[in-house]
Amino acid sequence: MNSKPNIPPYERSGFRRAQPYLYLLPVLIGVVVVTGGAIVAAFLLGFTDWDLVRPPVWVGFANFQAMFRSEQFYQVLGNTFYFVGITAPLMVVCSLGLALLVNRKLRGITFFRTIYFFPVVTSMIAVAVVWGWLYNPEFGFINYLLREWFGIQGPGWLLSTSWALPAISLMTVWKGVGYNMLIFLAGLQSIPDQLHESALIDGAGGARRLFSITLPMLSPTTFFVVVITLIGSFQLFEQTYTLTQGGPANSTLTLSYHIYQNAFQYFRMGYATAMAYVLFAITLVVTIVQFRMQKRWVYYQ
Amino acid sequence: MNFNKFLFLFLALLAIACGGDSQQSVDGKTTIRVAHFWGDQQELWKEVIAEFEKANPNIKVEQQVVSFTVHKDKVLAAAAADVDAGDLILLEDWFAQELLDREYLTDLQPFVDRDLKPDQIFPISLESFRRGTSLRAFPVAMGSYPLFFNKDLFDAAGLRYPDSTWTYDTLLAAAQKLTVDKNGDGKPDQWGFLLDNSGGFDGVLYSLGGGVLTQDLKRSAFNQPRTLQALQFWVDLVQKYKVSPSYASIRGGASSGGSLRPFETGRFAMAMLGSMLTTYKNNQFRWDIALPPSGPAGRKALRFAAAFGIPKNSKNVDAAWTFLRWIIRDMPAKYSDRLFYGLVPNSRRLALSPEYLNGQPTVNRRVVIDLIEKYSISTWRARWLEFRDNGFMPELDLMVNGEKTVQQAAADADRKINEVLSR
């Protein structure tokens, strides 16, 4: 008896065997060439002096040495951490607050959820133009309110070295809060109702339920939101690009924008890619730290 | 079909689809691609191209228009991939300087020698595009920084308009009379003079005897006493005489909270601005331009240009030059007014034509021609953007806003500029 199964010749052909791989080929090409290739190329370019026009020249660690010796790099790094430090907590707290607000069974609540989500889908250019007007020191609505309601002369906002970055942070929170709100909302709605009901029967008030049930049960969602918010904040680019171009006096110059400047304005692609890897390393370390720390405060059911 | 045969066929088809020879000939015509970023002039360029194609039936011209940022990135990406980004690429001065130094562009000097006489163009315009004996880009139009003034505000104050006898003392005296606090809140509602850190600043600095760079353009000139005096003059305009606003009121644009074009608000009596005159056509007041004042070092203003370059790897260098030459030598003068945003065409025939001189907005365009020919300077060199952005502009921000003294700001600018230039 022949032990081989009776497979038709077509099934045994090379084409048939290769078929699954062929289906995967477009994606594999994309991942390997476009993503993987760029990651590897960028890493290697960090060790070269490349102006985009002439061939790259291998310079070893020179770009990293120049970066760590550069006064400006530390200013930019400081700006980046400052931005992350004020934006991320504000974003998480505001989006959680909004999610709690719209997580109610009220008539027309979908309308409010939509309204809060609007900025997320609005073009950054449009947002930047509108906020630019709002921040206008003389004619802007914000300073008008401060002047008319509180009798305070508002600052120059985007034109002030002290206020420009907080102003961009505020706009970033306004623009992104709807997205995180939606994630929190999904998290809130997945908390079983019986937990709240039991707590109610036991006489727990709103605050107690918030801190003893909602926030702990929401902690995996909060963890996710914190991680993506921090990563997003480190990558701040569009806002500075459209609003301040790093000014005034480099006070809003952050790592991503500085990388862009060096790569595409100053013809220092090697230096820029080296800096991009430093940004990557910082983001990675911060993310790893968060993953390590999650054991202390994140509760999975 | 076995797997190897199939893979071979697939890869062969892929190679054909991706490769493809660059199409130079359509119906026996040579097609050239003009890559530029003047999107709002696209229709006008279409008319110009139609005229050109009528006169040159063997050449077809295609426009490739994107925003400036995309244009720049596209050219860089093409350079990195060793392909051409177009047969003719429009270049701003600072960007051209970078490509010039990297020898990405064709030497146009032999073409200029063959086809153009020096009196047909403004030879001074070519200076900053030369490297040794070669000419790597050809400016089609140029501009400078004249003194813009608001006639309505001058008339209301009963003052004479600025003229070629003006010095910076005259300007200051006029600016003081033209700065007005209308509502008595202690803040001027109308300013005498506007100076920001764009190219207008360079002219003031050099006229007053200072400079951004030394004459050989190799080092910073911010350590020179005359530069410090010139910077002090600027700070005094803002802080002592209060005839010019601080950045908080003027900078930025819609994007950063100020007015994008402060002079257009009608609240500034004078301003040192770039001469892209048609961009001021919507001014709701009467205005004109004059020569900037002269200072201890004479009258000086930065010159800039809109130039075209032909990448070395373009396969249509001759046809591209033919188009460029036609613009200079043969293009009907009716386009000269608007095609370059009111900049002076680098063709005497066009620049001195009634169509250009009387174009809209109607201002004294001869002023810019004079300024370019007699008083203009060029400080363009590679790393221009970097030594400004990272070198002295942030320092000037802090200086004018009173966050640093002139001495501190100049010393820091000096160090930073030299750091960039020494690399």
- Render pLDDT for A124-165 as a digit per residue (tens, 0 to 9): 889 988 998 899 887 789 999 998 999 888 888 888 889 999
- List the single best residue of A54, A130, A238, A265 to mutate versus B (max B Cβ within 10 A): A265
The yes-or-no verdict on residue A1 having pLDDT over 60 is no
Local structure of residue B147 (DSSP, 8 states): E
Q: Name the nearest CA neighbour of B191 among B266, B98, B254, B112.
A: B266
Round to whole Å and give the CA distance between B6 and A251.
Answer: 58
* pLDDT computed for residue B250 by the predictor: 56
User: A150 forms bridges with which residues in the sheet?
Assistant: none
Residues B192 and B82 placed together within one structural domain of the fold: no
Nearest Cα residue in chain B from A125: B255
Give yes or no for A137 touching B (CB within 8 A). Answer: yes
- List the single best residue of B83, B104, B256, B417 to mutate versus A (max A Cβ within 10 A): B256
Instruction: State which amino acid sits at residue B53.
Output: E
* pLDDT computed for residue B13 by the predictor: 46
Round to whole Å and give the CA distance between A189 and B64.
Answer: 51
Nearest Cα residue in chain A from B251: A159
* pLDDT computed for residue A93 by the predictor: 96
What residues make up the domain containing B86?
Answer: 21-142+304-373
Nearest Cα residue in chain A from B412: A71
| Mean pLDDT rounded to a whole number for chain B | 89
The yes-or-no verdict on residue B419 having pLDDT over 70 is yes
Cα B73 vs. chain centroid, distance in angstroms?
18
* pLDDT computed for residue B28 by the predictor: 81
Round to whole Å and give the CA distance between A185 and A179.
Answer: 10
Q: Name the nearest CA neighbour of A213 among A235, A239, A193.
A: A193
Nearest Cα residue in chain B from A49: B423
CATH number at residue B408: 3.40.190.10
Residues B132 and B181 placed together within one structural domain of the fold: no
Confidence of residue A2 (pLDDT cuts 50, 70, 90): low
* pLDDT computed for residue B327 by the predictor: 96
pTM comes to 0.85
Which of A6-20, A271-285, B124-138, B177-191 has the weakest average pLDDT?
A6-20
Percent of chain A whose pLDDT exceeds 70: 96
* pLDDT computed for residue A301 by the predictor: 67
- Render pLDDT for B292-351 as a digit per residue (tens, 0 to 9): 999 999 999 999 999 999 999 999 999 999 999 999 999 999 999 889 999 999 999 999
Residues B208 and B296 placed together within one structural domain of the fold: yes
Q: Which among B77, B254, B394 has CB closest to A250?
A: B394
Q: Name the nearest CA neighbour of B309 among B323, B289, B295.
A: B323
- Render pLDDT for B56-91 as a digit per residue (tens, 0 to 9): 999 999 999 998 888 998 999 888 888 888 999 999
Q: Which among B79, B257, B393 has CB closest to A136?
A: B257
Residues B415 and B394 placed together within one structural domain of the fold: yes
| Mean pLDDT rounded to a whole number for chain A | 90
Question: And the tokens for A190?
Answer: 């997945």
Question: And the tokens for B295?
Answer: 């200072």
Local structure of residue A131 (DSSP, 8 states): H
* pLDDT computed for residue B364 by the predictor: 96
* pLDDT computed for residue A3 by the predictor: 55
Q: Is residue B284 part of a domain?
A: yes
Residues B100 and B34 placed together within one structural domain of the fold: yes
Residues B159 and B263 placed together within one structural domain of the fold: yes
Q: Which residues of B touch A165 (CB under 8 A)?
A: none
Query: Is A241 in contact with A20 (CB distance < 8 Å)?
Result: no
Residues B108 and B168 placed together within one structural domain of the fold: no
Confidence of residue A10 (pLDDT cuts 50, 70, 90): low
Nearest Cα residue in chain B from A161: B398
Percent of chain B whose pLDDT exceeds 70: 90
Could you tell me which residues of chain B have a Cβ less than 8 Å from any Cβ in chain A? 1-4, 6-7, 72-73, 76-77, 79-80, 98-99, 102, 104, 247-249, 251-258, 383, 385-386, 389-390, 393-395, 397-398, 401, 403
Whether residue A18 and residue B104 make contact (CB cut-off 8 A), yes or no, is no
Three-class secondary structure of residue A44 per DSSP: helix
Q: Name the nearest CA neighbour of B326 among B37, B61, B22, B28.
A: B61
Confidence of residue B7 (pLDDT cuts 50, 70, 90): very low
Nearest Cα residue in chain A from B4: A14
Q: 3-state SS of chain A: helix, strand, coil percent to 5?
A: 75, 0, 25
Q: Which residues of A touch B386 (CB under 8 A)?
A: 265-266
Q: Does the interface predicted TM-score (ipTM) exceed 0.90?
A: no
A64-297 carries CATH number 1.20.1270.360: no
Q: How far is A71 from chain B (nearest CA, A)?
A: 10
Q: Name the nearest CA neighbour of B293 among B180, B145, B185.
A: B145
Query: Is B302 in contact with B144 (CB distance < 8 Å)?
Result: yes
Q: Could you state, in order of their start, the residue ranges of all structural domains in chain A?
A: 9-45, 64-297
Q: Is residue B244 part of a domain?
A: yes
Q: Which residues of B touch A267 (CB under 8 A)?
A: 76, 98, 102
Query: B306: part of which helix (H) or strand (E)?
Result: strand B304-309
Give yes or no for A38 touching B (CB within 8 A). Answer: no
Q: How far is B304 from chain A (nearest CA, A)?
A: 18
The yes-or-no verdict on residue B128 having pLDDT over 60 is yes
B314 backbone φψ class: left, alpha, beta (φ>0; ψ -120 to 50): beta
* pLDDT computed for residue A108 by the predictor: 85
Cα A155 vs. chain centroid, distance in angstroms?
28
Neighbours of B115 (CB within 10 A): 15
Question: And the tokens for A148?
Answer: 């008319």
Whether residue B393 and residue A247 make contact (CB cut-off 8 A), yes or no, is yes
* pLDDT computed for residue B340 by the predictor: 95
Residue carrying structure tokens 């400052």: A82
- Render pLDDT for A59-90 as a digit per residue (tens, 0 to 9): 999 999 999 999 999 999 999 999 999 999 99
More confident: B11 or A181: A181
Instruction: State which amino acid sits at residue B223.
Output: N
Whether residue A244 and residue B401 make contact (CB cut-off 8 A), yes or no, is no
Q: Which residues of B touch A18 (CB under 8 A)?
A: 3, 6-7
Domain count, chain B: 2
Residues B275 and B401 placed together within one structural domain of the fold: yes
Query: Is B128 in contact with A297 (CB distance < 8 Å)?
Result: no
* pLDDT computed for residue A298 by the predictor: 86
- Render pLDDT for B359-401 as a digit per residue (tens, 0 to 9): 989 999 999 999 999 999 999 999 999 999 888 888 988 898 8
Q: Is residue B2 part of a domain?
A: no
Neighbours of B408 (CB within 10 A): 13
Whether residue B249 and residue A249 make contact (CB cut-off 8 A), yes or no, is no
Q: Average pLDDT, stretch A202-229?
A: 91
